[in-house]
Structure 1
Amino acid sequence: MRLLRTTINAAVLLFSLSVAFPQADSLIRRMEDMEGADRIDALHNIVIDLWLNYPERAMTFGQEALTLSQGLQDSSMISKSLRLIAGVHYYKGDYDQSLEYNQRAFKIAVALKDSTLINNGYNNIGLLYYNLGSYQTALEYLLRSKAIKNKIGETYGLSTTLNNIGLVFERVLDYKQARDYFEQAYDVAISINDRDHTLYSINNIGITYMKEGNLDEALKYFRRGFRMGVEIENINWGAVAARGIGEVYMISKKQDSVQFYLENSLQASQSIGDKKGMSEVYYLLAKNALEGGDANGALEFLDKCDGWAKQIQIRQQQLDNLKLYSTIYSNLGDRDKEKEFLVKYINLRDSLFQDVVTRNLSLIPLKIKEEQDRFKLSSQQVEIQNQLITNQLFTFIIIITVPLLIVMIILLRKNDRKNKELHRNNEELRHTQKLLITSEKMASLGVLAAGVGHEINNPLNFIKNGIGALSKKLEGNEDEELQSYFRIVNEGVDRATNIVKSLSHFSRKGPRVDEKCNIHEIIENCLLILHNKIRNKVRVITNFTNLGAELRGNEGRLHQAMMNIIANAEQAIHEEGTLEITTRRKEEHMEILVEDDGEGIPEENLIKISDPFFTTKAPGEGTGLGLFITFSIIEEHNGTIEVKSNHGAGTKFIITLPL
């Protein structure tokens, strides 16, 4: 421990000295006699040297480079100047401005048809959408960047893109997928001997293990990252590693070690002016002080954290701070302050949510136009290619003599077959594009629906609380008519709340199948959603087991599967009928039986019901995907479905899922 402390202190001192004499000063002196492109290149290098620690100075040089580039009318240099100014805004935490400059640079890159610049644009814009909370859009841009790099065989910068993709998956809590990308980034960095990105990947892998609760693996990677940070004199990532070690010890309740590593991480971040790093350390110091019973000390640390977070506009950190403020004041017994910060937390959270919804909706026209432009370009290329083939054939006819006409006819027939195949491919492409556009619209409408459900809950809570307050105010009043009004209003609010809660289950997406799910609640939610369809038509009988109904799975996907089966049962009953749902436990499995007395399924169709696009409904009334998706969902959960049916006498679905 003594050797490690000495190493940390030496590393901090070493980097502090290097920061005190930035390379930019020598570049500025040498630049005095430069003109034209040479001066612009020097300005670009100065911006890169200054943007992390001296963003205001970097911005001045970046604007000068942009002005000179525009004067030379050099599109490539203009694009680079815009990207560097965007970088300065990024390190200042001004992500909206950074996004605007990156989009201007990207537009020029597309006009130049420069694959490297286009690739950089996708990566930078993707990272910004990640910081702005638009994770689906971020992932789309980053995956395009990765695809271009793989296509042109460009290894430089691939590690950065892979790490950025990993960050998106980490933010949506898919730590295994995130770690897969971080490990790919590590392998790429090792292959090109890029030690800075190797260290960055090591820290990211450690963070995923820590968030999964695997503290031993996390500590192993953070220690490795710290040693490497000292070795290559990268104080920034070394500070991140020290911060990670401190957080692991804080989770492990090792108070002495926590304070030591967090203070050294803070000292390192202060030495390079890393405001984001300082904000994160102060937040951890505040949490550690609170866990140690020092609420006032926690408040002092949190004030410093919040000051930096507001200065560089880290909105997620500000949100976390408001929640911690509320907890601290709760410990101090100051209820007014506790409520004040809780209200601020809710308001900021709702504001961030609304920003994400608005940003995603505004992207729909841009994405549709992008797909249309891509299809238009493809069509033009096909037309040019066809015209070229025609011209070549015409020239060949002129040059070649009559005896070769037979060969020409054969070639023309082959060309005709290729044109027909190309026409079919174009039709398939048009169909695919329509599906993509529809998918984008539906995805955004889903986000909007989730937002509306969220907003409905707030006034429902106000009504519920108001009725509670009025009821308490009128305690002792024995007016039976007035009490009946209270019961009616309460029942209405409860029903509305249950409907919104049930809808929210269907907006949950993601590959995780390890959530705690109560199959009885899932069935009840589906019946609630379908209540208006079945109430005057179907008599529902539920025979639920008393032995517990919890299992591991993806709650949203199981809702979708049960909804499809129950809806099919309702549609099979034309006039009036009975739907019986039974659950029972068999050893390590849960068995769900859904039986209706509807029209049943003909024997010849039983083997086809799990096929995609198979349907017996009239055109426009069904897609044939419902049961195909249901079978897929149950298979994802390592379960089985058995279907028994007698035509004209009803159908029984037997679903078996592991507990």
Structure 2
Amino acid sequence: MRKATYILSILFSLCLSGQSDSLIEIVESSEGNEKVDALHNVILDTWLNYPEKAMQYGEDAFTLAQEIGDSILISKSLRLIAGVYYYKGDYDQSLEYNQKALALATLLKDSSLMNNGYNNIGLLYYNLGSYQIALEYLLRAKAMKEKIGEEYGMATTLNNIGLIFDRLGEYDEARIYFNQAFGAATGINKKDDQVYALNNVGLTYLKQNKLDGALSHFRRGRKLAEEIENINWGAVSLRGIGGVLLERGDYDSAYYYFQRSLENSKIIDDKKGIAEANYFLAQHAMKSGNYSQALDFLDSGDEKAKQMQLRQQQLENLKLYASIYENTGNTKLENEYLKKYINLRDSLFLDVVSRNLNLIPLKLKEEEDRFKLSEQQVQIRNQVITNQLFTLIIIITVPLLIVMIILLRKNDKKNKELQQNNEELKRTQKLLITSEKMASLGVLAAGVGHEINNPLNFIKNGIEALSKKLEDNRDEELRSYFKIVNEGVDRATNIVKSLSHFSRKGPDIDERCNIHEIIENCLLILHSKIRNRIRIITNFTSQGSVLKGNEGRLHQAMMNIIANAEQAIKTEGTIEITTRKKGDMMEIWIEDDGEGIPEENLMKISDPFFTTKAPGEGTGLGLFITFSIIEEHNGHIDVKSSPQGGTKFIIQLPL
């Protein structure tokens, strides 16, 4: 009876979703492993357009696979259930099922299933904001596919790698991977992946305001999506075309394409697509001056974004709410939505940092397995993990290594073993620092001054004690070691002291701060980059420049803004800094005549990790931190810029 009911439910669902007669016959007539494989095909055919039905098929396939006891089919079922959760927007659940599938695939040593696991987990970490770990998993997937010569799925992996570079603003690099993905999909005639790649290329062109290239790729994607009747990707193409037309000012045509996209997403109940389409329609209505309609669209889209937990879309929605209320002059609601935006933005940032910090123990275990340490090395490694901060100081502070050598030179054999193990640990630590730099940034910046000063004092006192104890020793070589270590410690101490203005610890914002002295100090530090190239004009008010705040944090904020102004001037130019009293507020204007900020980037400059700089030249945290500091001081920053050149930062702080 149970099996009969099960088969009837499958057939009924397949009829509703428009599956072919041949697929229905396969499910009805097959048994055992063949039935599970047939259900897997049904899931793949329905998870985009009918995720709720696909989830039922996935659970049925998993149950049958367990009854059969086939571990490979169980792993595949787990992976497909994870895929359904992904398309429903539940990334945490999807990550959990993918990790289970990968663990089973690793136990079976099945390269193909392991490859799929690496790819899927990489994509999920991308969606969760952990770009470094995402790229690591995706590159593993790519390398494994190349090693085993597996062409199927290569397009998906290449597309996912491209998404990471796209999110980091590396659009040219992203297009390289998207175009490779299109070629790989064409080679095996996988047209849905071709559409995906075409849409991705179009989005990179749109973000760079290269409208002709964007429109061409979106139209190709739309045509191919209609050929294969893929409603989901077709809706994405329609939104892309609408976005290009909106940028060109063709509002009527843009509205048509946005509406078509919304209708198509509603047909398949694609909540993510519905949320995105309503967002674009709200943008269109705002630019057309119809603010009431813009709010209606935005309310509808935001409801779907919250249902799907699309936090990045919710963030964009809050920005747009604030812009609409700014245009209508409703300052109260504008400030309310800006506050919500800041809270969600900070929450997302903290989630990413917390997630990356939680990955550190896993990464340490992974490196331990990779290098296959001996029993003695494992013991040393555990000791180093217990004293991880001390290990970091050893690696960073070269003079400490000299002290270790002096203390261990009595036992030559033991010294050689420790040196060899230390070099191995240094290489491992560098790998960890590279892969976890996003997670370590906040922790290291907050505690570096305090944590380095303490061991430096210990070393200084220890060296002085040793020197007094060995005053009668005439070993000149030993005395030279003491001199080198003393010089190194003094030099490190002076560097930490020189950073005092920029690393003051604590949340207190009740110090008396002279904003003019802070600006002059920042200009002094940047003197070597400014002189003979940039003219500085200062127009300081004489009505008082003292306010309550945290001097170190304000130094950091002013330094970030002035440094950005200096970097925007590529050859010669002018930076003008003006202060004035406005009621009970102090206004600071910092204006440069360098390269301006494109309109599409202006609303993103306060987002964490947003940067237009080349890899290795910036983290995208400078202005995010600056905005946070000013907000801590109950202040406000307004930015005005033109793509033709010139940017003005207007900072308001309470006196």
Q: TM-score, normalised by structure 2?
A: 0.61
Q: Is residue 2:116 matched to residue 1:59?
A: no
Q: Is residue 2:88 matched to residue 1:36?
A: no
CA 1:157–1:187 in 2, change beyond 3 Å: closer, same or farther? same
The amino acid across from 1:274 in the alignment is D
> Could you tell me whether the CA contact under 8 Å between 1:159 and 1:185 is conserved in 2?
yes
Match of 1:566 in 2: none
Match of 2:90 in 1: 94
What CA distance in whole angstroms lies between the structure 1 residues aligned with 2:503 and 2:45? 46
Q: Is residue 2:550 matched to residue 1:493?
A: yes
CA 1:85–1:549 in 2, change beyond 3 Å: closer, same or farther? same
1:459 Cα deviation after fit: 6.1
What CA distance in whole angstroms lies between the structure 2 residues aligned with 1:155 and 1:348? 40
CA 1:520–1:78 in 2, change beyond 3 Å: closer, same or farther? farther
1:202 Cα deviation after fit: 1.4
Deviations 1:246-290 (A, max 9, x none): 101111111111111111222222222222112111100100100
Match of 1:47 in 2: 43
What CA distance in whole angstroms lies between the structure 1 residues aligned with 2:311 and 2:338? 16
CA 1:348–1:515 in 2, change beyond 3 Å: closer, same or farther? same
Moved more, 107-116 or 326-335: 326-335
Deviations 1:129-173 (A, max 9, x none): 111111111111111111111111111111110011101110111
Q: Which runs of 5+ in 1 are unaligned?
A: 1-17, 380-423, 468-485, 509-513, 524-547, 561-659
> Could you tell me whether the CA contact under 8 Å between 2:504 and 2:553 is conserved in 1?
no
Match of 2:72 among 73, 76, 80: 76
What CA distance in whole angstroms lies between the structure 2 residues aligned with 1:556 and 1:154? 30
What CA distance in whole angstroms lies between the structure 2 residues aligned with 1:557 and 1:36? 53
Match of 2:133 among 137, 140, 143: 137
> Could you tell me whether the CA contact under 8 Å between 2:102 and 2:113 is conserved in 1?
yes
The amino acid across from 1:304 in the alignment is S
Q: Is residue 2:324 matched to residue 1:328?
A: yes
Q: Is residue 2:356 matched to residue 1:360?
A: yes
> Could you tell me whether the CA contact under 8 Å between 1:371 and 1:433 is conserved in 2?
yes
Select the structure of larger CA radius of gyration. 1
> Could you tell me whether the CA contact under 8 Å between 1:170 and 1:208 is conserved in 2?
yes
Match of 2:603 in 1: none
What CA distance in whole angstroms lies between the structure 1 residues aligned with 2:260 and 2:443? 45
Q: Is residue 2:427 matched to residue 1:432?
A: yes
What CA distance in whole angstroms lies between the structure 1 residues aligned with 2:18 and 2:567? 51
What CA distance in whole angstroms lies between the structure 2 residues aligned with 1:362 and 1:229? 40
Match of 1:248 in 2: 244
Deviations 1:522-576 (A, max 9, x none): x9xxxxxxxxxxxxxxxxxxxxxxxx9958995997799xxxxxxxxxxxxxxxx
Corresponding residue SS for 1:490: strand
What root-mean-square deviation, in Å, do the aligned CA atoms of Structure 1 and Structure 2 show?
4.3
Deviations 1:33-88 (A, max 9, x none): 75432332233233333323333333233223223323333211111111111111
Match of 2:222 among 226, 234, 237: 226
What CA distance in whole angstroms lies between the structure 2 residues aligned with 1:307 and 1:455? 42
> Could you tell me whether the CA contact under 8 Å between 1:24 and 1:46 is conserved in 2?
no
Match of 2:439 in 1: 444
1:188 Cα deviation after fit: 1.4
1:222 Cα deviation after fit: 1.6
CA 1:58–1:549 in 2, change beyond 3 Å: closer, same or farther? closer
The amino acid across from 1:498 in the alignment is H
What CA distance in whole angstroms lies between the structure 2 residues aligned with 1:555 and 1:462? 38
1:520 Cα deviation after fit: 11
What CA distance in whole angstroms lies between the structure 2 residues aligned with 1:519 and 1:557? 22
Match of 1:342 in 2: 338
> Could you tell me whether the CA contact under 8 Å between 1:517 and 1:555 is conserved in 2?
no
CA 1:143–1:451 in 2, change beyond 3 Å: closer, same or farther? farther
> Could you tell me whether the CA contact under 8 Å between 1:24 and 1:50 is conserved in 2?
no
What CA distance in whole angstroms lies between the structure 2 residues aligned with 1:519 and 1:462? 40
> Could you tell me whether the CA contact under 8 Å between 1:515 and 1:555 is conserved in 2?
no
Q: Is residue 2:142 matched to residue 1:146?
A: yes
Match of 1:599 in 2: none
Match of 1:268 in 2: 264
What CA distance in whole angstroms lies between the structure 2 residues aligned with 1:290 and 1:236? 26
The amino acid across from 2:331 in the alignment is R
Q: Is residue 2:301 matched to residue 1:301?
A: no
Match of 1:186 in 2: 182
The amino acid across from 1:158 in the alignment is M
CA 1:61–1:353 in 2, change beyond 3 Å: closer, same or farther? same
Deviations 1:626-655 (A, max 9, x none): xxxxxxxxxxxxxxxxxxxxxxxxxxxxxx
What CA distance in whole angstroms lies between the structure 2 residues aligned with 1:266 and 1:441? 40
The amino acid across from 2:34 in the alignment is D
The amino acid across from 1:198 in the alignment is Q
Match of 1:287 among 283, 291, 303: 283
Alignment of 1:634-645 (within 5 A): none
Match of 1:528 in 2: none
Q: TM-score, normalised by structure 1?
A: 0.61
Corresponding residue SS for 1:106: helix
Report percent identity of matched pairs: 51
What CA distance in whole angstroms lies between the structure 2 residues aligned with 1:462 and 1:73? 67
Q: Which runs of 5+ in 2 are unaligned?
A: 1-13, 376-418, 449-501, 516-542, 576-591, 597-611, 620-655
What CA distance in whole angstroms lies between the structure 2 residues aligned with 1:47 and 1:144? 26
Match of 1:175 among 171, 174, 180: 171
Moved more, 441-450 or 157-166: 441-450
The amino acid across from 2:430 in the alignment is L
1:30 Cα deviation after fit: 6.0
Match of 1:373 in 2: 369
> Could you tell me whether the CA contact under 8 Å between 1:283 and 1:321 is conserved in 2?
yes
> Could you tell me whether the CA contact under 8 Å between 2:17 and 2:50 is conserved in 1?
no
The amino acid across from 2:228 in the alignment is I
Corresponding residue SS for 2:547: helix
1:365 Cα deviation after fit: 1.0
Corresponding residue SS for 2:568: strand
CA 1:491–1:364 in 2, change beyond 3 Å: closer, same or farther? same
Corresponding residue SS for 1:264: helix
> Could you tell me whether the CA contact under 8 Å between 1:22 and 1:49 is conserved in 2?
no
Match of 2:157 in 1: 161
1:186 Cα deviation after fit: 1.4
The amino acid across from 2:36 in the alignment is I
> Could you tell me whether the CA contact under 8 Å between 1:520 and 1:549 is conserved in 2?
no
Corresponding residue SS for 1:273: coil
Corresponding residue SS for 1:342: helix
What CA distance in whole angstroms lies between the structure 1 residues aligned with 2:301 and 2:618? 42
Moved more, 51-60 or 98-107: 51-60
